[in-house]
Amino acid sequence: MARYDDVVEGFTRRLAKTVTRRSILRSLGGFLVGAAGIPLLPVSRGRAERAAEPDETSCDYWRYCAADGFLCACCGGSATACPPGTESAPVTWVGTCRNASDGRDYIVSYNDCCGKSSCGRCFCNRNEGDRPAYSPATANDYNWCAGSKAGVPYHCTVSRIVSVAPK
Protein backbone atom coordinates (compact mmCIF):
# COMPACT_ATOMS: atom_id res chain seq x y z
CA MET A 1 0.00 0.00 0.00
CA ALA A 2 2.87 2.30 0.93
CA ARG A 3 4.45 1.53 -2.43
CA TYR A 4 1.25 2.48 -4.23
CA ASP A 5 1.15 5.76 -2.27
CA ASP A 6 4.78 6.44 -3.27
CA VAL A 7 4.01 5.88 -6.94
CA VAL A 8 0.96 8.17 -6.89
CA GLU A 9 2.83 10.80 -4.90
CA GLY A 10 5.76 10.72 -7.34
CA PHE A 11 3.45 11.00 -10.31
CA THR A 12 1.54 13.91 -8.77
CA ARG A 13 4.77 15.77 -7.93
CA ARG A 14 6.12 15.31 -11.45
CA LEU A 15 2.81 16.53 -12.88
CA ALA A 16 2.82 19.55 -10.61
CA LYS A 17 6.36 20.44 -11.79
CA THR A 18 5.68 20.11 -15.51
CA VAL A 19 2.04 21.18 -15.90
CA THR A 20 1.43 24.80 -15.09
CA ARG A 21 -1.93 26.51 -14.86
CA ARG A 22 -0.96 28.48 -17.95
CA SER A 23 -0.26 25.33 -19.99
CA ILE A 24 -3.65 23.88 -19.01
CA LEU A 25 -5.39 27.07 -20.14
CA ARG A 26 -3.37 27.06 -23.39
CA SER A 27 -4.43 23.47 -24.19
CA LEU A 28 -8.04 24.17 -23.32
CA GLY A 29 -8.04 27.32 -25.48
CA GLY A 30 -6.51 25.44 -28.41
CA PHE A 31 -9.14 22.74 -28.08
CA LEU A 32 -12.01 25.26 -28.03
CA VAL A 33 -10.69 27.19 -31.04
CA GLY A 34 -10.20 23.94 -32.96
CA ALA A 35 -13.69 22.71 -32.13
CA ALA A 36 -15.21 26.02 -33.25
CA GLY A 37 -13.47 25.67 -36.61
CA ILE A 38 -14.79 22.19 -37.39
CA PRO A 39 -18.12 23.36 -38.92
CA LEU A 40 -16.16 25.67 -41.26
CA LEU A 41 -14.05 22.91 -42.77
CA PRO A 42 -14.76 22.28 -46.45
CA VAL A 43 -17.18 19.40 -46.87
CA SER A 44 -18.63 17.86 -49.98
CA ARG A 45 -22.02 19.46 -50.47
CA GLY A 46 -22.38 17.97 -53.96
CA ARG A 47 -24.82 15.30 -52.95
CA ALA A 48 -27.04 17.74 -51.05
CA GLU A 49 -27.09 20.11 -54.05
CA ARG A 50 -27.85 17.33 -56.49
CA ALA A 51 -30.70 16.15 -54.33
CA ALA A 52 -32.26 19.63 -54.14
CA GLU A 53 -35.80 19.57 -55.41
CA PRO A 54 -36.48 21.66 -58.52
CA ASP A 55 -39.05 24.43 -58.22
CA GLU A 56 -41.94 23.08 -60.29
CA THR A 57 -43.78 26.38 -59.99
CA SER A 58 -40.99 28.35 -61.67
CA CYS A 59 -41.05 28.87 -65.43
CA ASP A 60 -37.23 28.59 -65.29
CA TYR A 61 -37.40 24.88 -64.46
CA TRP A 62 -35.52 23.22 -67.33
CA ARG A 63 -38.33 20.89 -68.39
CA TYR A 64 -40.57 23.89 -69.20
CA CYS A 65 -38.26 25.00 -72.04
CA ALA A 66 -40.97 24.68 -74.70
CA ALA A 67 -43.99 25.40 -72.51
CA ASP A 68 -46.90 27.66 -73.41
CA GLY A 69 -49.61 27.73 -70.78
CA PHE A 70 -50.42 27.81 -67.08
CA LEU A 71 -48.20 25.52 -64.99
CA CYS A 72 -50.33 22.80 -63.36
CA ALA A 73 -47.92 22.87 -60.39
CA CYS A 74 -49.52 26.24 -59.50
CA CYS A 75 -53.06 24.99 -60.10
CA GLY A 76 -53.45 22.12 -57.64
CA GLY A 77 -51.55 19.55 -59.70
CA SER A 78 -47.82 19.10 -60.26
CA ALA A 79 -45.32 19.33 -63.12
CA THR A 80 -46.59 15.95 -64.34
CA ALA A 81 -50.08 15.52 -62.84
CA CYS A 82 -53.29 17.28 -63.82
CA PRO A 83 -55.20 18.91 -60.95
CA PRO A 84 -58.25 17.05 -59.57
CA GLY A 85 -61.32 17.50 -61.76
CA THR A 86 -59.30 17.86 -64.97
CA GLU A 87 -57.90 15.31 -67.36
CA SER A 88 -54.99 15.17 -69.69
CA ALA A 89 -55.64 15.76 -73.40
CA PRO A 90 -54.48 12.69 -75.32
CA VAL A 91 -53.00 14.79 -78.12
CA THR A 92 -50.00 16.89 -77.23
CA TRP A 93 -46.98 18.79 -78.46
CA VAL A 94 -43.41 17.93 -77.67
CA GLY A 95 -40.19 19.81 -77.07
CA THR A 96 -36.58 18.92 -76.43
CA CYS A 97 -35.07 20.40 -73.29
CA ARG A 98 -31.56 20.17 -71.87
CA ASN A 99 -31.23 19.33 -68.19
CA ALA A 100 -28.19 21.36 -67.12
CA SER A 101 -27.54 19.15 -64.08
CA ASP A 102 -26.74 16.09 -66.21
CA GLY A 103 -26.12 17.81 -69.57
CA ARG A 104 -28.60 15.53 -71.34
CA ASP A 105 -31.46 16.31 -73.72
CA TYR A 106 -34.95 15.10 -72.92
CA ILE A 107 -38.05 14.85 -75.05
CA VAL A 108 -40.84 16.49 -73.07
CA SER A 109 -44.55 16.04 -73.74
CA TYR A 110 -46.66 19.09 -72.87
CA ASN A 111 -50.17 17.87 -72.17
CA ASP A 112 -53.01 20.28 -71.62
CA CYS A 113 -55.29 19.45 -68.68
CA CYS A 114 -58.93 19.97 -69.58
CA GLY A 115 -62.39 20.18 -68.05
CA LYS A 116 -62.15 23.35 -65.93
CA SER A 117 -61.77 26.98 -66.90
CA SER A 118 -58.32 28.56 -67.21
CA CYS A 119 -56.24 28.32 -64.04
CA GLY A 120 -54.75 31.77 -64.63
CA ARG A 121 -51.65 31.21 -62.44
CA CYS A 122 -47.99 30.83 -63.41
CA PHE A 123 -48.29 31.51 -67.12
CA CYS A 124 -45.15 30.14 -68.74
CA ASN A 125 -44.37 30.85 -72.36
CA ARG A 126 -40.78 29.89 -73.22
CA ASN A 127 -41.34 28.44 -76.68
CA GLU A 128 -37.86 26.99 -77.24
CA GLY A 129 -38.02 25.02 -80.48
CA ASP A 130 -41.61 26.13 -81.10
CA ARG A 131 -42.57 25.68 -84.76
CA PRO A 132 -45.31 27.32 -86.82
CA ALA A 133 -48.91 26.10 -86.49
CA TYR A 134 -48.70 24.05 -89.70
CA SER A 135 -46.42 21.67 -87.78
CA PRO A 136 -48.81 20.91 -84.88
CA ALA A 137 -46.71 18.31 -83.05
CA THR A 138 -44.05 20.92 -82.39
CA ALA A 139 -46.25 24.03 -82.24
CA ASN A 140 -47.36 24.87 -78.74
CA ASP A 141 -49.98 27.55 -79.34
CA TYR A 142 -52.96 25.22 -79.60
CA ASN A 143 -55.74 24.39 -77.23
CA TRP A 144 -55.30 20.62 -77.28
CA CYS A 145 -58.36 20.22 -75.07
CA ALA A 146 -60.37 20.53 -78.27
CA GLY A 147 -59.73 16.82 -78.79
CA SER A 148 -60.28 15.66 -75.22
CA LYS A 149 -63.27 13.85 -73.74
CA ALA A 150 -63.40 16.37 -70.92
CA GLY A 151 -64.27 19.06 -73.44
CA VAL A 152 -62.72 22.29 -74.54
CA PRO A 153 -62.11 24.24 -71.32
CA TYR A 154 -58.34 24.48 -70.97
CA HIS A 155 -57.06 24.61 -67.37
CA CYS A 156 -53.26 24.16 -67.32
CA THR A 157 -50.36 22.23 -68.84
CA VAL A 158 -48.17 19.41 -67.49
CA SER A 159 -44.68 18.54 -68.73
CA ARG A 160 -43.86 14.85 -68.88
CA ILE A 161 -40.50 13.34 -69.81
CA VAL A 162 -40.96 10.93 -72.69
CA SER A 163 -37.38 9.89 -73.32
CA VAL A 164 -33.77 10.91 -72.99
CA ALA A 165 -31.40 11.29 -75.91
CA PRO A 166 -28.67 8.63 -76.01
CA LYS A 167 -25.25 9.81 -74.79
For position 68 contacting ligand ABN by CB under 6 A, the verdict is: yes
Sole binder of ligand ABN in the list 61, 64, 106, 144 (CB under 6 A) = 144
For position 130 contacting ligand ABN by CB under 6 A, the verdict is: no
DSSP secondary structure code for residue 64 in this structure: G
- The smaller minimum CB distance to ligand ABN, of residues 76 and 158, is found at 158
112 in active site: yes
What is the C-alpha to C-alpha distance for residues 150 and 18, in angstroms, rounded to an integer?
A: 89
3-state secondary structure of 58: coil
Residue 7, phi-psi category: left (phi > 0), alpha (psi -120 to 50), beta (remainder):
alpha
DSSP secondary structure code for residue 133 in this structure: T
**Sole window of 13-21, 48-56, 78-86, 141-149 interacting with ligand ABN (rule: CB under 6 A):** 141-149
Kindly name the residue from 5, 6, 55, 93 that is annotated as catalytic: 93
Burial class (CB in 10 A: 0-12, 13-18, 19+), 36: exposed
For position 87 contacting ligand ABN by CB under 6 A, the verdict is: no
What is the C-alpha to C-alpha distance for residues 34 and 14, in angstroms, rounded to an integer?
A: 28
For position 123 contacting ligand ABN by CB under 6 A, the verdict is: no
**Sole window of 22-30, 35-43, 72-80, 134-142 interacting with ligand ABN (rule: CB under 6 A):** 134-142
Kindly name the residue from 55, 105, 112, 130 that is annotated as catalytic: 112
Residue 71, phi-psi category: left (phi > 0), alpha (psi -120 to 50), beta (remainder):
beta
Per CB under 6 A, residues contacting ligand ABN are: 68-69, 112, 140-144, 154, 157
**Which residues are marked as active site?**
93, 112
